[in-house]
């Protein structure tokens, strides 16, 4: 069940192999995390070996929960596995749904639990090179403009988040307690 993720097939949520989910464009559960320091967002450049959207810039962490795993458990697990970040305590921001062509004949049709982590200090990242090629901190408003000027540099889901869901994701940022 390690590569099985929750997807809807004929209206029922069942475990389906991750690659099959994307090739069939099945609606499935996902998690996205945005780690912020002030107005700066920690981005990751996806590793060259990723089976879709390689070398594109994306939010801090994005993945699929394992079968039976909660969104917050998944967020914490993948912050550690992808970015080498522990004990950040992200807060739930919202749930979004989108559908996007991610290339190589694959579709992401995700129901995404989005988490936001507001930090006082920038953490030390030790990204997993199998997952992440590079990281950088970018001002959120500069990033929104950059995704419009150079959309081919950014993962489709990040462009969708920043075009259609900024208020849902970041609108409550000033109300959230700083985690660390």
- Active-site residues, by number, are 62, 110
Angle between helices 140-149 and 156-164 (to 10 degrees): 120
For 78, the token pair is 């993948």
d(CA 68, CA 161): 26
Asked if residue 17 lies in contact with residue 4, where contact means CB atoms within 8 angstroms, the answer is yes
- Beta-bridge mates of residue 37: 40, 119
Residue listed under structure tokens 């995700």:
110
d(CA 100, CA 109): 6
Q: Which of 40, 90, 87, 38 is nearest to 63 (CA)?
A: 90
- Beta-bridge mates of residue 95: 113
Residue listed under structure tokens 């749930």:
95
């Amino acid at each position: 069940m390690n590569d099985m993720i929750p997807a809807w097939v004929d209206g029922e949520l069942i475990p389906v192999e991750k690659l099959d989910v994307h090739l069939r464009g099945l609606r499935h559960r996902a998690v996205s995390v945005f780690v912020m320091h002030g107005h700066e967002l920690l981005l990751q450049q996806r590793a060259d070996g990723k089976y879709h959207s390689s070398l594109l810039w994306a939010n801090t962490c994005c993945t699929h929960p394992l079968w039976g795993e909660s969104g917050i458990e998944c967020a914490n697990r993948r912050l550690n596995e992808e970015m080498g970040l522990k004990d950040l305590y992200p807060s739930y921001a919202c749930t979004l749904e989108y559908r996007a062509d991610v290339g190589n004949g694959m579709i992401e049709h995700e129901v995404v639990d989005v988490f936001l982590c507001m930090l006082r200090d920038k953490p030390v990242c030790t990204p997993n090179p199998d997952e992440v090629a590079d990281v950088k901190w970018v001002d959120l408003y500069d990033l929104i403009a950059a995704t419009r000027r150079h959309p081919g540099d950014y993962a489709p889901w990040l462009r969708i988040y920043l075009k259609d869901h900024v208020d849902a994701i970041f609108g409550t940022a000033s109300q959230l307690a700083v985690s660390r």
